[in-house]
């Protein structure tokens, strides 16, 4: 016969866990709304920067842009840096596992081509997961805010740009997730450095405002446009990853709460059956004792 006390303790334990998962779901749901709003608010700025770059490409000759370090393509790609975006905390379902699987596949692909790989790890989970991998760890960024800010993006973008312009790596890629909806995100690999300029914008048939660049187009590109662009690419990637992580955590905690509810119902049924069996057994013993006394 099942131990009634043990079943009661198990039910209480699951109920306590359910309270925690519900609280975490509510916190993640509140944060993911803010993260989603930040993602949607940042996308127009990215589009505006790309539009300005397209206009610049349409106005100048490619020869005039050859001297810009972030645009210069190395003759031979010997080493690639991968910026891996992960979370600082767990309990977010398969979010980190999906990203790490794609990173491992990319590392294997690059190494099979005879290229060296270095990792720029963002998040405690990435730092912990790749600690034992025989791949160079260039730098780690951990304990970042739940909703990323421009300051973190500048740090990561600045370090990656220095690696590239100093010739320590020949290309930089970002592996993270794109936030699609609260139920779906997608792992993407973004070619980060060298910067690939967008195609030139078609000249409008109607009159358009004249844009002047002072002191020169090269200085504006090198000091303003390109730094803003590379920082914004990292910032957008961090926002997308944060929103995807929070959505994954909210879904994971929702599933955990539902599973706890089902387990409580199942354990309650087992407890009631065991309790009924115990009562029946006591009644049988009482009736048997009474019959024995009569005899």
CA–CA separation, 92 vs 13, rounded Å?
22
Host domain of residue 240: 27-198+210-251
Q: Which pTM does this prediction carry?
A: 0.82
Asked, for residue 218, whether it belongs to a domain, the answer is yes
Residues belonging to the active site: 92
Asked, for residue 274, whether it belongs to a domain, the answer is no
Dump strand ranges (E) for the chain: 79-85, 116-122, 136-141, 171-181, 184-193
What is the chain's pLDDT, residue by residue, as a tens digit (295 residues)? Answer: 458 888 889 999 999 999 999 999 898 888 888 888 888 888 888 777 777 777 776 666 666 667 778 888 888 899 999 999 999 988 888 899 999 999 999 999 999 999 999 999 999 999 999 998 889 999 999 888 878 888 999 999 999 999 999 999 999 999 999 998 888 899 999 998 888 876 665 555 454 555 666 666 667 777 777 888 888 899 999 999 999 999 999 999 999 999 999 999 999 998 888 888 888 888 887 887 777 777 6
* 135 token code pair: 């791949």
Asked, for residue 227, whether it belongs to a domain, the answer is yes
Helix (H, G, I), strand (E, B) or coil at 258: helix
Asked, for residue 50, whether it belongs to a domain, the answer is yes
Instruction: List, as own/partner pairs, every contact residues 153-157 make where C-beta atoms lie below 8 angstroms and the sequence separation is at least 24, other chains included.
Output: 153/231, 153/232, 153/234, 153/235, 153/238, 154/231, 156/83, 156/120, 156/122, 156/234, 156/238, 157/227, 157/230, 157/231, 157/233, 157/234, 157/235
Asked, for residue 280, whether it belongs to a domain, the answer is no
Q: Cα 93 to the chain's mean position, in Å? A: 12
Of 168, 20, 145, 156, whose CA–CA distance to 84 is shortest? 156
Q: Cα-flanking dihedrals φ and ψ of residue 238, to 5°?
A: -65, -40
Task: Report the DSSP pairing between strands 79-85 and 171-181.
Answer: parallel
Q: Which CATH number is 93's domain given? A: 3.40.1380.10
* 257 token code pair: 């709460």
CA–CA separation, 105 vs 110, rounded Å?
9
Asked, for residue 272, whether it belongs to a domain, the answer is no
How many structural domains does the chain have?
A: 1
DSSP summary character for residue 199: P
């Amino acid at each position: 016969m099942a131990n009634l006390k043990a079943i009661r303790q198990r039910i209480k334990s699951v109920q306590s866990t359910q309270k925690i998962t519900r609280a975490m779901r509510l916190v993640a749901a509140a944060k993911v709304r803010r993260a989603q709003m930040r993602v949607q608010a940042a996308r127009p700025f990215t589009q505006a920067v790309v539009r300005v770059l397209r206009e610049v490409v349409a106005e100048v000759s490619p020869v005039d842009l050859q001297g810009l370090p972030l645009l210069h393509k190395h003759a031979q790609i010997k080493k690639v840096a991968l910026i891996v975006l992960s979370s600082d905390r767990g309990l977010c379902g398969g979010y980190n596992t999906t990203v790490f699987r794609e990173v491992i596949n990319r590392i294997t692909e690059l190494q099979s081509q005879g290229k060296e790989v270095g990792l720029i790890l963002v998040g405690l989970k990435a730092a912990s997961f790749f600690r034992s991998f025989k791949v160079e760890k260039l730098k780690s960024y951990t304990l970042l805010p739940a909703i990323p800010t421009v300051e973190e993006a500048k740090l990561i973008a600045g370090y990656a740009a220095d690696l590239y312009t100093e010739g320590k790596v020949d290309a930089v890629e970002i592996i993270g997730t794109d936030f699609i909806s609260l139920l779906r995100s997608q792992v993407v690999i973004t070619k980060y450095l060298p910067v690939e300029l967008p195609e030139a914008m078609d000249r409008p048939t109607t009159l358009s405002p004249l844009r002047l660049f002072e002191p020169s187009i090269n200085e504006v590109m090198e000091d303003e446009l390109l730094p803003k662009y590379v920082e914004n690419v990292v910032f957008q990637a961090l926002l997308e990853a944060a929103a995807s992580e929070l959505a994954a955590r909210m879904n994971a905690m929702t599933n955990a709460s539902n599973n706890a509810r089902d387990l409580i119902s199942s354990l309650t049924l087992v407890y009631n059956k065991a309790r009924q069996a115990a009562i029946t057994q006591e009644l049988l013993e009482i009736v048997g004792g009474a019959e024995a006394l009569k005899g």
